[in-house]
């Protein structure tokens, strides 16, 4: 029974007759022996019988908790159809209803009341060897806010993508939620809520808890990549800055989002023929993800030959209180980098609650690139988009907020308002847009294009730290593989069915950067590529080796 209830080892009806004899499985399984292909077909038919996306999400999660090989093979075979179910946008609903649809444990719950036992909690992990940990505190889940312990759905989904796209062995991944309470009153009032029923801890208590967690990770999992996910703006960047030089770690919302956005901008410029250093960038939203994207674009501009001052001057960032400028006293140190000189914008229109809003900026700036991180659905209005398209030949418009309802604009509107001139990518998936006789395919500017490949590159190269240079290398490799370079109606980013192959190229780029920065053992390019490919796990059944599975020590093997 231990074999058939361990998802990383279970083959279900595909256990052979000999295996059933060796492991005393006769009688526990139907007589007929199926192939993996048979199982995939049967699982897909069951999937199709589900009535809505949430039910499909629940079905796939149950399959993942039952038979991981079958789960990953099924999703890989139907990746276009199932990616939005496994992750965005359906995962948002899964997080909101986490306590109501909870079935069985996956990952670790590290709760504040157990803060003095964190090393012990980490030792409770189901698998000893771990390559990648994804951790969240559930405070800023996608565009839906504080979900408390329900935020664990994000690390679970992210790690599934590490395996699907990057090929990280699922038995070497670990999702974690730091349960530090919740300020979501609806959850606190819900009798079914499974987390710690307490307002979020803050200040020194929070910082000390994070430090206890990191120290435990360093001791228990010293060579593991730790990815921070969906932390609120006041915590996300300080945590990254504090710990990035102490262990192998990065923040996907800051660095992963930045890298994929840079990749899609570079792809669009290859299509339009524009030069990066000539672009003017307007952002709606000034949170950690937005500033992270600006940072990577700015670094790329400096590489192109601009000075720091010149590069900074090409950014206009608007938040809920209007344009960031030098006389605003509410800006963080990271936001101040992009504050426009207040005197230079003093005579600009102020039609947004008495401040300079997005429409005012677009009216005064010949913006080439418009990026949305606001989670305000429909914020890119027709008037704004038409004004932008009037002044530049091929506007690059990226409504990147998730989930779909939070997108700043819909692609079909953007294509229609610009008469097909706009180069568009979105945060959530959208169908192709009909324009004239052509179908224009819309790239989903999702971090799935970056973090799985980065993880693969880190594991394969043996890197000891994660740097911006590695993420920038991944972004350039992504742009070099844009299908739009060959077909103008193709999406700016590779189709999902090709991403696993493209991940190899990006992982190699990450490994090369790690070696060049002295953060990974030096090898030649051929050896690095070979190691990247050999590190990619594939969903195929293999022989069961009981000697490596502590969980199955009590299974009596029949020789």
Q: Which residues are registered as beta bridge partners of 544?
A: none
Q: Which residues are registered as beta bridge partners of 398?
A: 371
Say how far apart CA 70 and CA 7 lie, in whole Å: 9
| Rg from Cα positions in the chain | 24
- Write the DSSP assignment of 211-266 as a string of letters: HHHHHHHHHH-TT-EEEE-S--HHHHHHHHHHHTTTSSEEEIIIIIHHHHHHHHHH
Q: Is the dihedral of CA 482, 131, 6, 541 positive or negative?
A: positive
Say how far apart CA 40 and CA 165 lie, in whole Å: 19
Which two structure tokens, joined as six digits, stand for 151? Answer: 């935020």
Sort residue 107 into left (φ over 0), alpha (ψ -120 to 50) or beta. left
Which two structure tokens, joined as six digits, stand for 66? Answer: 């039952």
Question: Which residue is associated with the tokens 């959850």?
Answer: 187
Helix axis angle, 36-48 relative to 68-77, nearest 10°?
A: 70
Which residues carry a binding-site annotation for a divalent metal cation? 229-230, 253
Say how far apart CA 15 and CA 25 lie, in whole Å: 9
CA nearest neighbour of 298 among 319, 269, 276:
276
Which residues carry a binding-site annotation for (S)-malate? 140, 402, 446
3-state secondary structure of 110: strand
From residue 540, how far is each of 157, 391, 453, 498 by CA, in Å?
Answer: 21, 53, 20, 19
Examine the residue annotation and report whether 158 is marked as an active-site residue of this protein: yes
Q: CA 173 from chain center: how many Å?
A: 15
Please identify which of the residues 47, 72, 87, 243 carries the catalytic annotation: 87
From residue 413, how far is each of 137, 149, 203, 284, 500 by CA, in Å?
Answer: 36, 37, 44, 18, 31
Say how far apart CA 297 and CA 326 lie, in whole Å: 21
From residue 124, how far is each of 191, 220, 431 by CA, in Å?
Answer: 27, 11, 43
Examine the residue annotation and report whether 87 is marked as an active-site residue of this protein: yes
What is the rounded end-to-end Cα distance, in angstroms, of the chain?
Answer: 17
Say how far apart CA 329 and CA 352 lie, in whole Å: 18
- Asked if 544 contacts 69 with a C-beta cutoff of 8 angstroms, the reply is no
Please identify which of the residues 11, 158, 406, 410 carries the catalytic annotation: 158
Say how far apart CA 65 and CA 236 lie, in whole Å: 30
3-state secondary structure of 136: strand
Say how far apart CA 340 and CA 320 lie, in whole Å: 16
Active site residues: 87, 158
């Amino acid at each position: 029974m231990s074999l058939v209830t361990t998802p990383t080892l279970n083959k279900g009806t595909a256990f052979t007759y000999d295996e059933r004899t060796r492991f005393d499985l006769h009688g526990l399984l139907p007589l007929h022996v199926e192939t993996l292909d048979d199982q995939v077909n049967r699982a897909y038919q069951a999937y199709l019988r589900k009535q809505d996306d949430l039910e499909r999400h629940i079905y796939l999660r149950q399959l993942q908790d039952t038979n991981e090989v079958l789960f990953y093979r099924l999703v890989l075979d139907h990746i276009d159809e199932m990616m939005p179910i496994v992750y965005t946008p359906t995962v948002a609903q899964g997080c909101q209803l986490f306590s109501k649809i909870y079935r069985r444990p996956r990952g670790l719950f590290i709760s504040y009341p157990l803060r003095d036992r964190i090393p012990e909690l980490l030792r409770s992990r189901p698998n000893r060897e771990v390559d990648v940990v994804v951790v969240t505190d559930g405070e800023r889940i996608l565009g839906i806010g504080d979900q408390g312990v329900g935020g664990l759905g994000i690390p679970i989904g992210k790690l599934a993508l590490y395996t699907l796209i990057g090929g990280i062995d699922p038995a070497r991944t670990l999702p974690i939620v730091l349960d530090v309470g919740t300020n979501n009153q609806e959850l606190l009032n819900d009798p079914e809520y499974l987390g710690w029923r307490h307002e979020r801890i803050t200040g020194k208590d929070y910082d000390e808890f994070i430090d206890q967690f990191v120290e435990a990770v360093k001791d228990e999992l010293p060579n593991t990549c730790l990815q921070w996910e969906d932390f609120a703006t006041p915590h996300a960047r300080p945590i990254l800055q504090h710990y990035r030089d102490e262990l192998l770690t990065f923040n996907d919302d800051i660095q992963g989002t930045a890298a994929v956005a840079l990749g899609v901008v570079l792809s669009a410029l290859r299509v339009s023929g524009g030069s990066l250093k000539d672009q003017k960038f307007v952002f709606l939203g000034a949170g950690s993800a937005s500033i992270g994207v600006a940072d990577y674009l700015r670094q790329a501009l400096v590489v192109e030959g601009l000075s720091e001052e010149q590069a900074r001057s090409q950014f206009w960032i608007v938040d809920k209180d209007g344009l960031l400028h030098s006389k605003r006293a509410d800006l963080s140190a990271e936001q101040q980098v992009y504050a426009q000189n207040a005197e230079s914008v003093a005579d600009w229109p102020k039609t947004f609650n008495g401040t300079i809003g997005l429409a005012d900026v677009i009216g005064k700036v010949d913006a080439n690139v418009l990026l949305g991180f606001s989670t305000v659905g429909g914020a890119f209005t027709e008037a704004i988009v038409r004004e932008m398209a009037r002044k530049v030949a091929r506007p690059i418009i990226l409504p990147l907020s998730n989930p779909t309802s939070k997108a700043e604009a819909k692609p079909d509107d953007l294509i229609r308002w610009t008469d097909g001139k706009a180069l568009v990518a979105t945060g959530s998936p959208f169908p192709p847009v009909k324009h004239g006789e052509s179908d224009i395919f819309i790239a989903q500017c999702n971090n799935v294009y970056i973090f799985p490949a980065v993880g693969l590159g880190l594991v394969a190269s043996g890197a000891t730290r994660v740097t911006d240079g590695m993420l920038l290398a991944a972004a350039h490799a992504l742009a070099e593989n844009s299908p739009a370079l060959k077909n103008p109606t193709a999406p700016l980013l590779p189709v999902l069915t090709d991403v696993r192959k493209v991940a190899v190229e990006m992982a190699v780029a990450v490994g090369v950067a790690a070696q060049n920065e002295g953060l990974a053992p030096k090898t030649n390019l051929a050896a690095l590529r070979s190691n990247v490919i050999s590190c990619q796990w594939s969903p195929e059944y293999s022989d069961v080796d009981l000697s490596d599975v502590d969980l199955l020590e009590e299974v009596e093997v029949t020789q």
